[in-house]
Structure 1
């Protein structure tokens, strides 16, 4: 007979990619789940011996739990991985997050100007130009953020790394420009239909804007992750770019390293992959579908792949649409080292030893081979966000107080200053 577990329980699901707070209430044959959106879902509860199970299929969660002492212990199946779960009785106390130690506050010892320019789609981009005090025409660095719907500061988990880069570079005598991506923050336009190529076109528009100003000198580029790629692509096509910094870029298509890298973050937090070979084949097939000549063909092929894999009907259309998104289709055919190969300006490639998203063990050799003249540096102990890390799993981002490790700041700033 199942022990009485009625009432509230709380815990955390750590997938290696993110940590999600769990709030559950068991009442008879129903469990109620609090979600981050504020919605509360009533779910049917299965009983099996001394355990219980339930699913939240729209977000791909399936729980199996049983009482162990005063806790509920078990697993959550998510994205073909069983993750350990431990729940305590009661409702979790609210947690207040302190301001990150590196968070910037004015006044600043340099000029800060709100600017706007016209993006590649004709809509407004809004940003911040910083400029060291004094006369002259300082070199200016355009900062490009990583993948995703992020603002000019690349705000993530309470960290604002691009604001820190702008601050440190400006204190070194360089001007900087950072701006919100299209459809984000104060920038106009539509984010959801944009590809990496569209973000590169917006970067070209930012460079053109800077060249209209009489108080700015030569333009250099610095980008993080996807931002590093668009920086290299633009610098390779523009002989007037003074230098290019790529931070934690990739060199190989994602599907080329699935067997060794796909589940590393999950394993670090205790996850156990199910049907490894089947899952790898399934992801590789969807990547190939994204390379179809038209979005319609991608969508049709993705539906076939998902149906053949018995993908839950509740999520099939959503998952197929992801494969057909402009960003996914562009990235699936993007030559990740083309920009780096084509650079004639000085180039710095910064890698992070504990990076699980673009791990140096998989990408460093190809990056070095793409441009032997580039300076390639791997920093020990850092993750993809260039924070000091324990495991390197993205789910650690929020728990790490340091937004940007001083070793990364010094390497980049010293390299640029020496040019």
Structure 2
């Protein structure tokens, strides 16, 4: 006899990259799935005794669940990985986000000024300049955010780490500048057609903007992840940069560590990759397509690879465009330690022991070898966002109250102050 599972069920799908709230309603031979957009999709439900299966193909989800102990447990297949999933009866309770004890609020014991400067594309970049009390000239630090479409504060999962760095460094006696990336927040320009090289050019423009101000003096750079790379590239090309801090950068190309590191976040939450060798080969082939001489060649090669892999037609063109995008093409051929190797200013490289995106075991050796004069430090227990972590998976970011672990704040501030 087939058990009755009609009604509402809820749970969470943790992919390591994100935690997705699941809301399901079973009605006869269909299941309705609440999505983040608020839409409800009626899907065909397959039954076999106390086992149930359904798919949401547009977003690449396939569920296989079994009724056990009043719960539906099983797997969700997503992005070539089987993830464990469990749902229970009822409607999900409201989400309560962790309190952010490091959230900043005015008044501040320093000056805060809205500024704008001209980026490398000739369009305006909007930012925030903080200055210690007094006439100056004050030493200054430009802050650079990590990969992605993020604002001047690097706002992610309720955290604002760049605002926190600006606060701590200004209290230490430095002026700081942080700004929205091109096409983000109040900055003009186009984000999706920009590469890491374009972001580096914007950083150089930010440095030039600070140097025309009489109230500011020597300029140093501090960047997180991709922001660390562009900081090193800009400092290497400008011998007057006072110092460079790189936090959680990469040391080797992504394709060199695919076999060991590709499924890090998925595995720590219980995910099991399917067809591991095939998936690695597929990703490596797309990376090679990104290295083609022209964007048109990259796009054509990516389409061919995706068709050969029987990639879902409804998502094929989007995936091919990503492989041929300016950012992907630049990053696929970028020498990750070139800037660090050429630095002549003092340099600090900070790695995080539980970082699953740029894990020290894969990158620290190359970063250390790149510049014997640089200080390379690995802080245990921290994730890529530099929070105290349990697994290190990005899906934990929102659940962790701390935005920046005090150990990394102290390390960086002490190192800069000692200069």
TM-score tier by shorter-chain length is over 0.9
- Contact persistence 1:101–1:401 (CA under 8 A): yes
Indicate conservation of the 8 Å contact 2:3/2:49, yes or no: no
Structure 2 counterpart of 1:108: 108
More divergent stretch after superposition (115-124 vs 404-413): 115-124
The separation in 1 between residues aligned to 2:66 and 2:180, in whole angstroms, is 47
Counterparts of 1:355-374 in structure 2 under 5 Å? 355-374=355-374
Aligned to 1:381: 381
Name the structure 2 match of 1:263: 263
1:98, distance to aligned residue in structure 2 (A): 4.8
Match of 2:63 in 1: 63
When structure 1 is superposed on structure 2, of 29-38 and 77-86 the one drifting more is: 29-38
Q: Deviations over 1:9-55 (max 9, x none)?
A: 11000011111111111112221111112222222222233212111
Counterpart of 1:342?
342
Supply the distance in 2 between the matched residues of 1:202 and 1:416 (Cα, whole angstroms).
Answer: 24
**CA distance in 2: counterparts of 1:283 and 1:378, whole angstroms:** 29
Q: Which structure 1 segments of 5+ residues have no match?
A: none
Q: Distance in 2 between matches of 1:307 and 1:405?
A: 45
**CA distance in structure 2 between the aligned counterparts of 1:299 and 1:31, rounded to whole angstroms:** 37
Shift of 1:73: 0.6
* Other-structure match for 2:72: 72
User: Which moves more between the two structures, 144-153 or 300-309?
Assistant: 300-309
Matched, 1:203 2:203: yes
CA distance in 1, matches of 2:229, 2:167: 23
Partners of 1:150 and 1:180 within 8 A in 2: yes
Distance 1:335 1:91 in 2: 50
Q: Give the corresponding residue for 1:21.
A: 21
How many residues are treated as equivalent by the alignment?
419
The whole-number CA distance in structure 2 between the counterparts of 1:406 and 1:326 is 36
- What's the RMSD between the two structures over aligned residues? 1.0
Q: Which residue in 2 is equivalent to 1:406?
A: 406
Q: Secondary structure at the match of 1:387?
A: coil
**Superposed displacement of residue 99, structure 1:** 3.9
Whole-Å Cα distance in 2 between the matches of residues 79 and 399 of structure 1?
23
Task: Tell me, in whole angstroms, the C-alpha distance in 1 between the residues paired with 2:413 and 2:264.
Answer: 32
- Deviation digits for residues 147-167 of structure 1, max 9, x if unmatched? 001010001111100000000
Match of 2:304 in 1: 304
1:144 aligns with 2:141: no
Partner of 2:223: 223
Matched-pair contact (CA < 8 Å) for 1:200–1:230? yes
1:330 alignment partner in structure 2: 330
